[in-house]
Amino acid sequence: MVRRILTTQLLLALVILTAQPALSMEPPTRLPAVDRLAAMADWHGDLDAARHSLRLAGAIDEHDHWIGGDLVVVQTGDQLDRGDQERAILDLIQKLRVEATEAGGALHVLCGNHEIMNAQGDFRYVTDGGWQDFADIPYVLDEELAAYPEEQRGRVAAFRPGGPYATMLAEQPVALIIGRDLFVHGGLRPSHVEYGFDRVNRETRAWLLGQGTEPAIFEEKGSPIWARDYSDAPDQDDCTNLASVLEALDCDRMFVGHTIQDEGIAPWCSNQVWCLDTGASAHYGGSVQIVEITPGGVTVR
């Protein structure tokens, strides 16, 4: 019976993985403005938090099907770690991306530091359930996998560059511009703009697909997935740098996650940055909030 259940789970995963040709795997960099956009942040392995966020946005129904029509949703990273339901979240994302596109909308999910950490082999925040959830991922034993206990090898195989779930993550850009709004997990510094906005996405995708080396920018302590310049009580220098980045990229606002805002979603730097991480996952016990972005402005819900 256990073998039958695992086989069924594996077949479902393979169906989800092979159902994607209708969608381009090239992460977008800049997209045109839309009339309705909802943005949300860190889920950290909490499927209920993910569902709550998406339902609050009017994106899905009680059966997890897309009902948002032409709504565009952006989730700014950190689907992984700290919770036991990461695989269910990633599989839900893949399903909803297809349904949203068919309905004329879109679901854009970014890579945060925890997605990149798993691809790097940094599993320090994986729960026991997080190891078990990927235990049925098939692999061919090699030197790298042999260094891990047997119960951990499925997850390592899933997320190392070229693995099935790393390939899923390759569809997720590090940063994305929609209209004049910039979305990134940690934040973009002037040095990141100099490095190359398109280059970050391009190099990350190639690496996750197993077709390139890890982007050099991830060696920085304050890389786009780790920076807290604009989300941890930014000072005037931080706000000046933010304004410089927005001007260089022809944007009006930046939306970030990564740093929990104790009082809920908060704008800083004269509303030029909106910090979306409210600690919504069960690990942190915060509240679920999103922002709705329309031509009329930004509304917290």
Let me know how long the chain is.
301
Q: How far apart are CA 287 and CA 265, in angstroms?
A: 10
Task: Sheet with 297-300: list strands edge to edge.
Answer: 106-109, 72-75, 37-40, 291-294, 297-300
Using alpha carbons, list the distances in angstroms from residue 284 to 25, 151, 260, 277: 32, 27, 9, 11
* Closest CA relative to residue 163, chosen from 85, 83, 87, 78: 87
As a dihedral over the C-alpha atoms of residue 270, residue 191, residue 193, residue 209, rounded to 10 degrees, the angle is -120
**Identified catalytic residue from 44, 52, 108, 114:** 114
In the numeric block, the tokens 């190359």 are attached to: 196
Is residue 52 annotated as a catalytic residue, yes or no? Answer: no
Place of tokens 């004269």: 270
Q: Which residues are the active-site residues?
A: 114
